[in-house]
Protein backbone atom coordinates (compact mmCIF):
# COMPACT_ATOMS: atom_id res chain seq x y z
CA UNK A 1 0.00 0.00 0.00
CA UNK A 2 1.48 3.35 -1.03
CA UNK A 3 1.72 6.03 1.64
CA UNK A 4 -0.13 9.28 0.94
CA UNK A 5 1.97 12.20 -0.25
CA UNK A 6 2.44 15.45 1.66
CA UNK A 7 -0.64 17.66 1.99
CA UNK A 8 -1.25 20.14 -0.79
CA UNK A 9 -0.85 23.87 -0.27
CA UNK A 10 -4.62 24.34 -0.36
CA UNK A 11 -5.20 21.62 2.24
CA UNK A 12 -2.68 23.34 4.52
CA UNK A 13 -4.21 26.78 3.93
CA UNK A 14 -7.64 25.45 4.89
CA UNK A 15 -6.21 23.73 7.96
CA UNK A 16 -4.38 26.85 9.19
CA UNK A 17 -7.36 29.15 8.57
CA UNK A 18 -5.89 31.52 6.00
CA UNK A 19 -8.18 33.03 3.36
CA UNK A 20 -5.63 32.15 0.68
CA UNK A 21 -7.33 28.73 0.64
CA UNK A 22 -10.86 27.80 -0.36
CA UNK A 23 -13.01 27.62 2.77
CA UNK A 24 -11.90 30.20 5.36
CA UNK A 25 -13.47 33.65 5.39
CA UNK A 26 -13.79 34.64 1.72
CA UNK A 27 -11.84 31.60 0.45
CA UNK A 28 -9.95 33.47 -2.27
CA UNK A 29 -8.47 30.20 -3.67
CA UNK A 30 -5.09 31.77 -4.38
CA UNK A 31 -3.37 28.58 -3.27
CA UNK A 32 -4.85 26.74 -6.25
CA UNK A 33 -2.72 29.04 -8.44
CA UNK A 34 0.28 29.01 -6.11
CA UNK A 35 0.42 25.20 -6.01
CA UNK A 36 1.31 25.03 -9.70
CA UNK A 37 3.93 27.77 -9.32
CA UNK A 38 5.50 26.67 -6.04
CA UNK A 39 5.47 22.86 -6.27
CA UNK A 40 8.91 22.60 -7.84
CA UNK A 41 10.31 24.89 -5.11
CA UNK A 42 8.75 23.03 -2.19
CA UNK A 43 11.97 21.47 -0.90
CA UNK A 44 14.35 24.14 -2.13
CA UNK A 45 16.11 26.61 0.23
CA UNK A 46 14.17 29.57 -1.16
CA UNK A 47 13.65 33.01 0.39
CA UNK A 48 10.02 34.18 0.70
CA UNK A 49 8.79 37.55 1.98
CA UNK A 50 5.19 38.37 2.80
CA UNK A 51 3.74 41.83 3.43
CA UNK A 52 0.79 41.72 5.85
CA UNK A 53 0.77 38.84 8.31
CA UNK A 54 -2.77 38.78 9.70
CA UNK A 55 -6.13 40.34 8.98
CA UNK A 56 -7.38 43.12 11.26
CA UNK A 57 -4.88 45.96 10.95
CA UNK A 58 -5.46 49.69 10.35
CA UNK A 59 -6.98 48.91 6.93
CA UNK A 60 -9.95 47.57 8.93
CA UNK A 61 -9.98 50.48 11.38
CA UNK A 62 -7.94 48.83 14.13
CA UNK A 63 -4.90 50.25 15.90
CA UNK A 64 -1.46 49.44 14.53
CA UNK A 65 -0.42 48.54 18.09
CA UNK A 66 -3.06 45.82 18.30
CA UNK A 67 -2.18 42.61 20.09
CA UNK A 68 -1.50 39.91 17.50
CA UNK A 69 -2.10 36.28 18.37
CA UNK A 70 -1.49 34.44 15.12
CA UNK A 71 0.25 34.64 11.74
CA UNK A 72 -1.58 31.92 9.80
CA UNK A 73 0.06 32.43 6.44
CA UNK A 74 3.53 32.22 7.98
CA UNK A 75 2.55 28.92 9.59
CA UNK A 76 1.38 27.84 6.13
CA UNK A 77 4.65 28.75 4.42
CA UNK A 78 6.78 27.18 7.13
CA UNK A 79 4.92 23.89 6.77
CA UNK A 80 4.87 23.88 2.97
CA UNK A 81 8.50 24.99 2.47
CA UNK A 82 10.47 22.98 5.06
CA UNK A 83 13.87 24.27 3.91
CA UNK A 84 13.00 27.90 3.17
CA UNK A 85 13.82 31.17 4.93
CA UNK A 86 11.01 33.64 5.55
CA UNK A 87 10.66 37.38 6.05
CA UNK A 88 7.58 39.26 7.17
CA UNK A 89 6.54 42.91 6.99
CA UNK A 90 3.66 44.41 8.95
CA UNK A 91 2.74 47.71 10.59
CA UNK A 92 1.83 45.75 13.74
CA UNK A 93 4.38 43.93 15.90
CA UNK A 94 4.82 40.27 14.97
CA UNK A 95 8.30 39.95 16.46
CA UNK A 96 7.03 37.32 18.90
CA UNK A 97 6.86 34.89 15.98
CA UNK A 98 10.52 35.26 15.00
CA UNK A 99 12.60 32.10 14.93
CA UNK A 100 15.65 30.75 13.12
CA UNK A 101 13.79 30.66 9.78
CA UNK A 102 11.66 33.80 10.13
CA UNK A 103 12.85 37.41 10.31
CA UNK A 104 10.30 40.17 10.97
CA UNK A 105 10.46 43.84 9.93
CA UNK A 106 7.95 46.19 11.55
CA UNK A 107 7.33 48.62 8.71
CA UNK A 108 4.78 51.16 7.52
CA UNK A 109 4.45 50.52 3.78
CA UNK A 110 3.46 54.15 3.27
CA UNK A 111 6.91 55.28 4.47
CA UNK A 112 9.56 55.12 1.74
CA UNK A 113 12.40 55.47 4.25
CA UNK A 114 11.27 52.41 6.22
CA UNK A 115 10.99 50.38 3.02
CA UNK A 116 14.46 51.57 2.01
CA UNK A 117 15.87 50.01 5.18
CA UNK A 118 14.53 46.63 4.05
CA UNK A 119 15.84 47.22 0.54
CA UNK A 120 19.31 47.80 2.03
CA UNK A 121 19.23 44.58 4.09
CA UNK A 122 20.79 42.62 1.23
CA UNK A 123 17.90 40.22 0.65
CA UNK A 124 17.65 38.15 -2.54
CA UNK A 125 14.07 36.90 -2.72
CA UNK A 126 12.46 34.12 -4.73
CA UNK A 127 8.88 35.07 -3.85
CA UNK A 128 7.28 38.28 -2.55
CA UNK A 129 3.59 38.28 -1.63
CA UNK A 130 1.89 41.60 -0.90
CA UNK A 131 -1.14 40.93 1.31
CA UNK A 132 -0.79 44.18 3.26
CA UNK A 133 -3.19 47.09 3.60
CA UNK A 134 -4.33 46.76 -0.06
CA UNK A 135 -4.21 50.55 -0.44
CA UNK A 136 -3.15 51.50 -3.97
CA UNK A 137 -0.41 53.86 -2.79
CA UNK A 138 1.00 51.27 -0.38
CA UNK A 139 0.97 48.50 -3.00
CA UNK A 140 2.80 50.57 -5.57
CA UNK A 141 5.35 52.12 -3.24
CA UNK A 142 6.11 48.67 -1.82
CA UNK A 143 6.55 47.25 -5.31
CA UNK A 144 8.85 50.12 -6.25
CA UNK A 145 11.11 49.38 -3.27
CA UNK A 146 10.96 45.57 -3.07
CA UNK A 147 10.70 44.40 -6.68
CA UNK A 148 14.45 45.01 -7.21
CA UNK A 149 15.12 42.48 -4.42
CA UNK A 150 13.50 39.65 -6.43
CA UNK A 151 15.98 37.38 -8.18
CA UNK A 152 15.85 36.70 -11.90
CA UNK A 153 12.89 34.39 -12.61
CA UNK A 154 11.37 35.11 -9.20
CA UNK A 155 7.77 36.10 -8.52
CA UNK A 156 6.20 39.26 -7.12
CA UNK A 157 2.56 38.65 -6.18
CA UNK A 158 -0.14 41.16 -5.20
CA UNK A 159 -3.33 39.83 -3.59
CA UNK A 160 -6.83 41.26 -3.17
CA UNK A 161 -6.57 43.88 -5.91
CA UNK A 162 -10.35 44.22 -6.02
CA UNK A 163 -10.59 45.82 -2.55
CA UNK A 164 -9.04 49.00 -1.21
CA UNK A 165 -9.71 50.53 2.23
CA UNK A 166 -11.63 53.74 1.57
CA UNK A 167 -10.04 55.79 4.35
CA UNK A 168 -6.57 55.07 2.99
CA UNK A 169 -7.57 55.79 -0.61
CA UNK A 170 -9.02 59.15 0.45
CA UNK A 171 -6.12 60.23 2.67
CA UNK A 172 -3.03 59.02 0.77
CA UNK A 173 -1.65 60.79 -2.34
CA UNK A 174 -3.97 60.24 -5.34
CA UNK A 175 -2.93 57.02 -7.06
CA UNK A 176 -4.52 54.99 -9.87
CA UNK A 177 -5.67 51.55 -8.80
CA UNK A 178 -2.89 48.98 -9.00
CA UNK A 179 -4.92 46.94 -11.49
CA UNK A 180 -4.97 49.98 -13.79
CA UNK A 181 -1.21 50.35 -13.42
CA UNK A 182 -0.62 46.72 -14.35
CA UNK A 183 -3.02 46.70 -17.30
CA UNK A 184 -1.43 49.94 -18.53
CA UNK A 185 1.97 48.27 -18.38
CA UNK A 186 0.67 45.25 -20.31
CA UNK A 187 -0.73 47.56 -23.00
CA UNK A 188 2.07 50.16 -23.22
CA UNK A 189 5.15 48.77 -21.47
CA UNK A 190 5.15 51.55 -18.87
CA UNK A 191 3.47 52.54 -15.62
CA UNK A 192 1.53 55.72 -15.00
CA UNK A 193 3.81 58.16 -13.17
CA UNK A 194 2.63 58.89 -9.61
CA UNK A 195 4.07 59.82 -6.22
CA UNK A 196 4.27 56.11 -5.45
CA UNK A 197 5.76 55.10 -8.82
CA UNK A 198 7.72 57.99 -10.38
CA UNK A 199 8.57 57.27 -14.01
CA UNK A 200 12.30 57.86 -13.55
CA UNK A 201 12.45 55.56 -10.51
CA UNK A 202 10.88 52.71 -12.51
CA UNK A 203 13.01 53.17 -15.61
CA UNK A 204 15.28 50.21 -14.81
CA UNK A 205 12.85 47.97 -12.92
CA UNK A 206 10.09 48.14 -15.54
CA UNK A 207 12.47 46.70 -18.09
CA UNK A 208 13.06 43.67 -15.89
CA UNK A 209 9.45 42.43 -15.94
CA UNK A 210 9.07 39.23 -17.98
CA UNK A 211 5.39 38.36 -17.49
CA UNK A 212 2.28 39.63 -15.72
CA UNK A 213 -0.61 37.24 -15.07
CA UNK A 214 -3.96 38.59 -13.84
CA UNK A 215 -6.73 36.45 -12.33
CA UNK A 216 -10.23 37.83 -11.83
CA UNK A 217 -12.83 36.92 -9.26
CA UNK A 218 -14.86 34.72 -11.60
CA UNK A 219 -11.85 32.59 -12.53
CA UNK A 220 -10.89 32.07 -8.89
CA UNK A 221 -14.48 31.38 -7.80
CA UNK A 222 -14.87 28.72 -10.49
CA UNK A 223 -11.65 27.04 -9.41
CA UNK A 224 -12.73 27.18 -5.77
CA UNK A 225 -16.09 25.56 -6.51
CA UNK A 226 -14.49 22.73 -8.49
CA UNK A 227 -11.91 22.07 -5.78
CA UNK A 228 -14.34 22.21 -2.87
CA UNK A 229 -16.88 19.94 -4.52
CA UNK A 230 -14.22 17.39 -5.52
CA UNK A 231 -12.67 17.47 -2.06
CA UNK A 232 -16.10 17.20 -0.46
CA UNK A 233 -16.80 13.98 -2.34
CA UNK A 234 -13.80 12.26 -0.77
CA UNK A 235 -13.04 14.12 2.45
CA UNK A 236 -14.53 12.92 5.71
CA UNK A 237 -15.09 16.50 6.85
CA UNK A 238 -17.91 18.59 5.42
CA UNK A 239 -15.67 21.66 5.82
CA UNK A 240 -14.44 21.07 2.27
CA UNK A 241 -17.88 21.49 0.74
CA UNK A 242 -18.59 24.71 -1.10
CA UNK A 243 -20.14 27.10 1.39
CA UNK A 244 -22.95 29.40 0.17
CA UNK A 245 -22.54 33.17 0.26
CA UNK A 246 -24.95 35.16 2.45
CA UNK A 247 -27.95 36.32 0.42
CA UNK A 248 -27.01 39.97 0.96
CA UNK A 249 -23.57 39.43 -0.61
CA UNK A 250 -25.07 37.52 -3.53
CA UNK A 251 -27.40 40.41 -4.30
CA UNK A 252 -24.58 42.95 -4.22
CA UNK A 253 -22.27 40.81 -6.35
CA UNK A 254 -25.06 40.09 -8.86
CA UNK A 255 -25.97 43.77 -9.17
CA UNK A 256 -22.32 44.73 -9.63
CA UNK A 257 -21.85 42.13 -12.37
CA UNK A 258 -24.95 43.38 -14.20
CA UNK A 259 -23.62 46.94 -14.15
CA UNK A 260 -20.14 45.90 -15.28
CA UNK A 261 -21.52 43.74 -18.08
CA UNK A 262 -23.83 46.55 -19.23
CA UNK A 263 -20.92 49.01 -19.24
CA UNK A 264 -18.75 46.58 -21.22
CA UNK A 265 -21.53 46.00 -23.77
CA UNK A 266 -22.12 49.75 -24.16
CA UNK A 267 -18.39 50.31 -24.68
CA UNK A 268 -18.28 47.58 -27.33
CA UNK A 269 -21.21 49.12 -29.23
CA UNK A 270 -19.48 52.50 -28.97
CA UNK A 271 -16.45 51.07 -30.75
CA UNK A 272 -14.22 50.28 -27.80
CA UNK A 273 -12.63 46.87 -27.42
CA UNK A 274 -14.42 44.26 -25.35
CA UNK A 275 -12.42 44.00 -22.11
CA UNK A 276 -12.48 40.20 -22.00
CA UNK A 277 -13.49 40.14 -18.33
CA UNK A 278 -16.33 41.57 -16.28
CA UNK A 279 -15.25 40.44 -12.84
CA UNK A 280 -12.64 42.61 -11.04
CA UNK A 281 -9.03 41.44 -11.03
CA UNK A 282 -8.10 39.98 -7.64
CA UNK A 283 -4.60 38.52 -8.09
CA UNK A 284 -1.52 39.64 -9.98
CA UNK A 285 1.60 37.51 -10.48
CA UNK A 286 4.61 39.36 -11.88
CA UNK A 287 7.67 37.42 -12.99
CA UNK A 288 11.07 39.05 -13.09
CA UNK A 289 13.20 38.76 -16.21
The answer to whether 138 is a known catalytic residue is no
Residues 243-256, buried b or exposed e (16+ Cβ, 10 A)? Answer: eeeeeeeeeeeeee
Edge-to-edge, what's the strand order for the sheet holding 102-106? Answer: 102-106, 85-90, 47-51, 125-130, 150-158, 281-288, 209-216
C-alpha 67: how far from chain center = 23
Q: Which residue in 28, 47, 60, 134 is the catalytic one?
A: 134
How many angstroms separate the CA atoms of 284 and 159, rounded?
7
How many angstroms separate the CA atoms of 181 and 198, rounded?
12
3-class DSSP assignment, residue 179:
helix
Active site residues: 134
Amino acid sequence: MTSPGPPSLTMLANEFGTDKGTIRRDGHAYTLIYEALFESLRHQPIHLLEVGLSIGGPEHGHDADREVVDAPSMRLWREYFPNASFYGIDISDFSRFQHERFCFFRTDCGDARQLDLIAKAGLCLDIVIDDGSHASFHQQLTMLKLFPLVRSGGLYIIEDLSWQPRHYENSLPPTPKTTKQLTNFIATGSFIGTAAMPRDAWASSAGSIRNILLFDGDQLAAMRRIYNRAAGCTAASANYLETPWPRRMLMRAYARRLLETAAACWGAFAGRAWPGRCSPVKLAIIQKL
